[in-house]
Amino acid sequence: MSKAYICDGIRTPIGRYGGALASVRTDDLATIPITELINRNLSVDWAKLDEVVLGCANQAGEDNRNVARMAVLLSGLPVSVAGITVNRLCASGMDAVGQAARAIECGAADLMIAGGVESMSRSPFVMAKATAAYDRNAEIYDSTIGWRFVNKKIASQYGIDSMPETAENLAAERGISREDQDAYAFRSQQRTEAARALLAEEIVPVTLPSKRGEPQVVAQDEHPRETTLEDLARLKAPFRDGGSITAGNASGVNDGACALLIASEAAVKSYGLKPIAKIMGMASAGVPPRIMGIGPVPASQKLLSRLGHSLADMDLIEINEAFAAQVLAVTRELGLKDDDPRVNPNGGAIALGHPLGMSGARLVLSAALQLKRSGGRHALCTLCVGVGQGVSLMLEGV
């Protein structure tokens, strides 16, 4: 069985909702990191690229009709290169990476681009068709995030808790205090600020045309913000009476795209590529939707058991920070300390933001680069997923 190697990777800065990247169409946003990979890897015969696999959670707006294929065409890749878009909500980008690795491992491909894209700023409102002639009622939803066109059977059997409500459920059931959540969120902001120079290694600047004057260049993540524990403590918890989930201890609503070049051993040799990390495997698991945030626990346990490893073997753990309460529920159940230095050493989504389809790919890219910098051996990347799932992926340094 061939091994799958990450040989390069890049991402856009992460934009705030309605921020610097809001003017960029989703399909154009997806194109940016792919084009950068093409420009950085001149030895590759791109006509031999087997597939582009992109994760995207929305797919109701400019990302409709297979945004991965749109990105292939817009990036200048040969028209013969295929593209497929996958959707596992928050884990879509990681699933794209895992699917590309599996194709290489089973001999169905040698060279893949995998990643993810999301423009939550540009997510459209969606409306159902009328169910009767001349019906004057309209069912309309904001597709940015959350449930829409709900099946009544799902609602009655599992509930349709919003994402913040699922975090409130975990906080209440696991006894996770507001103080601990704010302390975790503050560490995320601090670590991100300290790692700005390292994070710059992941980023391709985005140049935006200006109606007046010079083009605007977006080169840094927009979402990190200066804060204090006192500032965080003053924020309201709007999702539940007596609740603890706030804008300060939750991830953001954001825009961004990421792409990784993944190759077999044969492709590495053929094109003179330099592997950064090896993909060891991926696993997923289901959990009750009302506590979807605990999903990384069974997914990680399944993956590590399958690969014959334990958390003690991990030099690095990248977990998507959907909510501080959710991360703490996961780390505590896995037996990790709240401030374990292996967990998100360069900050996470509370500080950086969470463009849904991109985030999983960003975690893998960040982990691969951090393993290379530190000389670490193993990394675990994991996310929770709306509607009750978790996905985990393991890397090995090379």
Tell me the pLDDT tens digit for each residue of 66-107. 999 999 999 999 999 999 999 999 999 999 999 999 999 999
Determine which one of 90, 258, 378, 381 is catalytic: 90
Q: What is the mean pLDDT of each run of 10 residues along the chain (398 residues)?
A: 95 98 98 98 98 97 97 98 98 98 98 98 94 89 94 97 98 98 98 97 96 92 97 97 97 98 98 98 98 98 98 98 98 97 98 98 98 97 98 98
Task: Let me know if 7 is a catalytic residue.
Answer: no
Determine which one of 56, 354, 378, 381 is catalytic: 354
Residues 6+ apart with CB under 8 A from 309: 378, 394
Task: Let me know if 354 is a catalytic residue.
Answer: yes
Q: Between 3.40.630.30, 3.30.2320.50, 3.40.47.10, 3.40.50.720, what CATH number should domain 4-123+251-397 receive?
A: 3.40.47.10
pLDDT of residue 1: 81
pLDDT of residue 226: 95
State both tokens at 254.
């954001």
Task: Let me know if 384 is a catalytic residue.
Answer: yes
β-pair partners for 145 = none
Determine which one of 7, 56, 381, 384 is catalytic: 384
Nearest in space to 359 (alpha carbons), one of 93, 25, 55: 93
Q: How many CA atoms lie within 13 A of 145 on its CB side?
A: 22
pTM > 0.95: yes
pLDDT of residue 25: 98
